[in-house]
Structure 1
Amino acid sequence: MTTPQRPPSAYVHGLNGPVVVIPARVCAWLERYARLNEVRIQERGSDPEVDAVLVAVRLAALTWRTTATGTPVAAKPEVDPDLKQWMSTGQAADKLGITDRAVRLAIQEQRLHANNINGRWRITQEDLQHFTAAKNAATAA
């Protein structure tokens, strides 16, 4: 899933006023890490246009998450690490084609989001997709 890195101006469109087009993967990232879904719920009803845009972001995020991970819900840390949506650093390394040590280094450098559950790193499929997309964007530059 390689997407060429685009300048910020590539996401701005419109003749009657600027409109920003947000890729679905970025919508999912915003929901998860910027807590945009919480903002949508908190501010519901305060501005109809803002409501409509935040719902559109939510729908795009759900669509991307479903195609990327097979589930519309972002995985939350669980005590049981054997759930399908979680993988170990070794499993992530196999999927990425890198070493387990490289995965742990990416976690340490905060380039790959992971959860420490009972002393072991667990990575969701969604976090792996975000990491892969960010890595591909950086190499395309």
Structure 2
Amino acid sequence: MVPPEMARILWHNGGLDDFRHRVRGRRPDLDALLEALRAAGERWASADRGSVEAEAPEATPEWLSTSEVASRVGLTTRAVVLAIGEKRLSAEWSSGRWMVSREELEHFKAARAGRRA
């Protein structure tokens, strides 16, 4: 059994939608499983959980993964994680991975440019 929140993460960040399109119709049991994951994730996302806490950031246009940051800055993913660990880059830990806001990415790029000058 997959918890609904994990189903949502797998669906949106794990590429399951693309996978579903590639294998659709080949195995009815796989089609049903993927649809159940999608539906559970969507129900979780639309549920009113009554929490006043902000939801953890997902990979959206406002939030970037460490690999996305690395490609935009010209570093390795490991170097980005090191910068986070050294507090040179602010990030949020979400669902087992670091997420960096676009605003923080811009600050980081400016700081790197300032060190090179």
TM-score normalised by L of structure 2? 0.51
How do residues 1-141 of structure 1 correspond to structure 2 at under 5 angstroms? 78-140=55-117
Write the distance in 2 (CA, Å) between the matches of 1:119 and 1:96: 22
How far residue 79 of structure 1 moved from its aligned partner, in angstroms, is: 2.7
Which one scores higher on RCO, CA 8 angstroms, separation ≥ 6? 1
Q: Which has the higher helix share?
A: 2
Letter of the 1:106 partner, please give it: A
Runs of 5+ consecutive residues of structure 2 not aligned to the other structure: 1-53
- CA distances 1:54-94 after superposition (whole Å, capped 9, x unpaired): xxxxxxxxxxxxxxxxxxxxxxx743513210010000000
Runs of 4+ in 1 over 6 A off after TM superposition: none
Identity %: 42
> Does structure 2 conserve the Cα–Cα contact (< 8 Å) formed by 1:114 and 1:121?
yes
Choose 1 or 2 for highest CA Rg: 2
Aligned to 1:79, what secondary structure does the other structure show?
Answer: coil
> Does structure 2 conserve the Cα–Cα contact (< 8 Å) formed by 1:78 and 1:117?
no
Give the CA RMSD over aligned residues.
Answer: 1.4
Runs of 5+ consecutive residues of structure 1 not aligned to the other structure: 1-76
- CA distances 1:43-62 after superposition (whole Å, capped 9, x unpaired): xxxxxxxxxxxxxxxxxxxx
